[in-house]
Amino acid sequence: AQSVAQPEDQVNVAEGNPLTVKCTYSVSGNPYLFWYVQYPNRGLQFLLKYITGDNLVKGSYGFEAEFNKSQTSFHLKKPSALVSDSALYFCAVRDMNNNAGNMLTFGGGTRLMVKP
């Protein structure tokens, strides 16, 4: 079975400060990891993914994420937060060794609030 944990329901950060949204995962094999963002009344938008290779992955809108296999984590980061980054963020995992097609398991989501 695969699972994802996002330990913080909400993260508050001041505009211009760095932000981190935490994610840990559990899979039996090797993971494919994804971050998505959801704005009010909208579907999910893809930010970035880790498949293999460099542990630091760069994505859309200045976001990046660091894959740490020993800590089974995939934290989302941004050096300087914008008010417009305020949204709901989801981490998702797929076990590459599990014949589960494109099925993703999502974390519970973290609401990011960036204050001016």
Partner 1 sequence: KAGVTQTPRYLIKTRGQQVTLSCSPISGHRSVSWYQQTPGQGLQFLFEYFSETQRNKGNFPGRFSGRQFSNSRSEMNVSTLELGDSALYLCASSLAGAGGYNEQFFGPGTRLTVL
Q: Considering only residues 17 through 36, tell me which ones interact with partner 1, judged by CB under 8 A.
A: 32, 34, 36
Specify the stretch interacting with partner 1 by CB under 8 A; choose among 12-20, 67-75, 77-85, 90-98.
90-98
34 neighbors 45 (Cβ within 8 angstroms):
no
Site string for partner 1, 64-83 (x = CB under 8 A): --------------------
Tokens of 112: 């990011």
Stretch (H or E) spanning 116? none
Q: Give min distance, CB of 114 to partner 1, in A.
A: 22
Q: Is residue 46 close enough to count as binding partner 1 by CB under 8 A? A: yes
Token pair 């519970």 is found at: 108
Query: What is the number of other CB atoms lying within 10 angstroms of the CB of residue 40?
Result: 7
